[in-house]
A and B are shown apart, each in its own frame.
Chain A
């Protein structure tokens, strides 16, 4: 089969690989019909995540058709069209039994701090991902779900991570009616978090980024006010000024490890890998939130330390909430919102790239060329 393969920082290509095999009775093999590149894939692509091995196939956002099932699989059949959450999870451990699917303890031998994720290095379990023609899907009775007949396939694809993560991030903000919500980052997760904040009754939603085309999307897709932080001497002062000097009730970090806005922080983390991630967005969140407010962290960071201003977070009495999204837990409610027309996830897709052109896809997304917001990968077999 053809698969995306990592060849070192900033380098990927398409290679021939063996079709994955059933390795556990509850495995399925899925023929991928559509995959996406996530902003967090860029952290791998840039060499930020420890134990990202040469030859690894990325991709934790994908949908497809069941090609083969293991002997204990009961809920899926060959030929089913399925959407697969980015979490690999068993459904039965201490954490899964409590709905914390992203914190599963039975799928990632490499680390206890994080569960399993498809195509996201060996730090998350060493599973090849879905930017390929086929992918191994463990616990087929737990994670994947048949795509509803009425659902657009692009919408289904966005549900596998970005939409679910953005919606989850808004929930972690504990938004109450009339709250002012600031979303840092106008990428896919930030756009969905902004949109979701309205569903939860936000009174104002303000999106901050430095890319004008993404801020335009935040205005049109997410109905949000926007601020380009490059237009302000100090964006934290603007966050205070625009909230009558109170600060935002809720700040959602939808940026993560490669945040811009402070050159030293960015270079020491994203370029030199001396920090687990650039803490610029987190520090703006801490400074920009009101005392007693809530910060929801959806941005992905590496396991190394980062220079985060915890002193101010403590002094302000902030609540910091975060996790990888337990994706499938979000789906029933998200499906209702999509069906009711409150959410149209596919509207943020900007590029469709054949799997054979995977290097170009990563470069366009990473370099923010051509107003790229969300690239979708089309495997040749589909």
Chain B
């Protein structure tokens, strides 16, 4: 009890634990723990054979956090900024530090605009987005969709029902918006 000085004894002794659990206690000594101490100065241990890495060529302007003093010598080149989402994201990086909420909210906004841009663009390709196949729901048969979810306690059942609405909601809203606009155009054309 915390109301007295002694710590409660564990239910099993070290010998019992050693007999039951392979390797029990082999890392009891902090010296055997590879991340102890947290910082261990040993620049020769990493395999790096440079003091500062060669610089990767910047083939197109690369956005960076304004908390960095320079573009890092190596960086990812996947999915460079494009379109309106690119404008939004570039603004987030160029104007706001990582400490500002605006930085992250602009990036979240950029993500949503990016999704809309790409969904629309996909309809001009031979492989338009397909929310049925891309959500993987076709895997449900054969992977125990009923018994995995029901007849047992699962906390996520309370909100799992929301997922289809989160996925389909923007599509349904977009469809309604397109229908409304189209009907208004038709009405105007007819006079």
Q: Which residues of A contact B (CB under 8 A)?
A: 7-13, 23-26, 47, 50-57, 72, 74-75, 88-92, 96-101, 105-113, 116, 122-123, 125-128, 138-139, 141-142, 168, 171-172, 174, 176-178, 180, 196, 198-201, 203-204, 210-212, 223, 228-231, 243-247, 260-261, 263, 266-267, 270-271, 273, 290-291, 303-305, 326, 329-330, 332-333, 337, 340-343, 357, 359-364, 367-371
Chain B interface size band reads: 35 or more
Which residues on the B side are within 8 Å of A177 (C-beta)?
14, 25, 28
Nearest-neighbour CB distance to chain A for B126, whole angstroms, equals: 12
B43 touches A97 (CB 8 A): yes
By Cβ-Cβ distance, the 4 closest A-B pairs, closest first, are A363-B136, A203-B10, A342-B23, A126-B76
* Contact indicator A72/B41 (Cβ below 8 Å): no
Complex alpha-carbon distance, A343 and B26, angstroms: 12
Q: Within 8 Å CB of B158, what residues of A?
A: 263
Contacts of B143 in A (CB 8 A): 364, 369-370
Q: Which residues of B contact A97 (CB under 8 A)?
A: 41-43, 46
Determine the distance from Cα of A128 to Cα of B78 in the docked complex, in whole angstroms: 6
Which residue from chain B places its CB closest to the CB of A196 in the assembled complex? B27
Q: How many A-B residue pairs have CB under 8 A?
A: 306
Check B153–A228 contact: CB distance below 8 A: yes
Near A by CB (< 8 A), chain B positions 45-88 give 45-54, 56-57, 62-65, 67-68, 71-79, 85
A96 and B33: CB pair below 8 A? Answer: no
- Contacting pair B10 A369 (CB below 8 A): no
Q: Are B21 and A223 touching (Cβ within 8 A)?
A: yes
Does B39 interact with chain A (Cβ within 8 Å)? yes
Name the residue of chain A whose CB is nearest to the CB of B86. Answer: A53
Residues in B with CB closer than 8 Å to A368 are 148, 154, 156
A10–B169 Cα distance when bound, in Å, is 12
B152-169 Cβ-contact flags toward A at 8 Å (1 or 0): 111110111011001100
The secondary structure that dominates the A interface is loop
Contact assessment for B78 and A359 in the assembled complex, using a CB-CB cutoff below 8 Å: no
Contact A91 B47 (CB under 8 A): yes
| Complex interface bits, B165-184 against A, C-beta within 8 A gives 1, otherwise 0 | 01100000000000000000
Across the interface, which residues of A come within 8 angstroms of B22, CB to CB?
341-342
Which residues of B in the span 6-34 have a Cβ within 8 Å of any Cβ on A?
7-12, 14, 17, 20-28, 30, 32-34
Q: List 23 interface pairs A-B (beta carbons < 8 Å), by A numbering.
A: A11-B134, A13-B134, A50-B104, A54-B114, A91-B47, A96-B48, A100-B39, A107-B74, A109-B63, A109-B64, A111-B65, A127-B78, A168-B35, A196-B27, A199-B23, A199-B24, A200-B27, A210-B153, A212-B153, A230-B154, A231-B153, A326-B35, A342-B22
- The reply to whether A112 and B48 form a contact with Cβ atoms under 8 Å apart is no
Closest to B51 in A: A92
Chain B neighbourhood of A367, CB < 8 A? 148-149, 160
A205 and chain B: residue at smallest CB distance = B21
**A112: contacting residue among B50, B67, B160, CB under 8 A:** B67
Cβ–Cβ < 8 Å partners of B133 in chain A:
13, 359
A57, A105, A109: which contacts B75 (Cβ < 8 A)? A109
A286 to chain B, nearest CB (A): 17
Smallest CB–CB gap between B86 and chain A, Å?
Answer: 9
Smallest Cβ-Cβ distance to B134: which chain A residue: A11
Partner of A92, one of B8, B39, B50, B98: B50
**Bound complex: CA of A363 vs CA of B22, how far in Å?**
35
- Chain A positions within 8 Å of B57 at CB level: 23
Instruction: Specify the chain B residue showing the minimal Cβ separation from A54.
Output: B118
A110/B118 contact (C-beta < 8 A), A10-B163, A13-B133, A51-B89 known: no
A245 to B7, CA, bound (A): 11
One of A89, A96, A290, A363 near B139 (C-beta < 8 A): A363
Residue with the greatest number of chain A CB neighbours at <10 A, chosen from B57, B62, B98:
B98
Bound CA span A342–B137, Å: 38
Chain B residues near A359 (CB-CB < 8 A): 133-136, 138-139
Complex-state Cα separation, A151 to B49, whole angstroms = 28
Most central of A11, A12, A25, A271 by chain B CB within 10 Å: A11
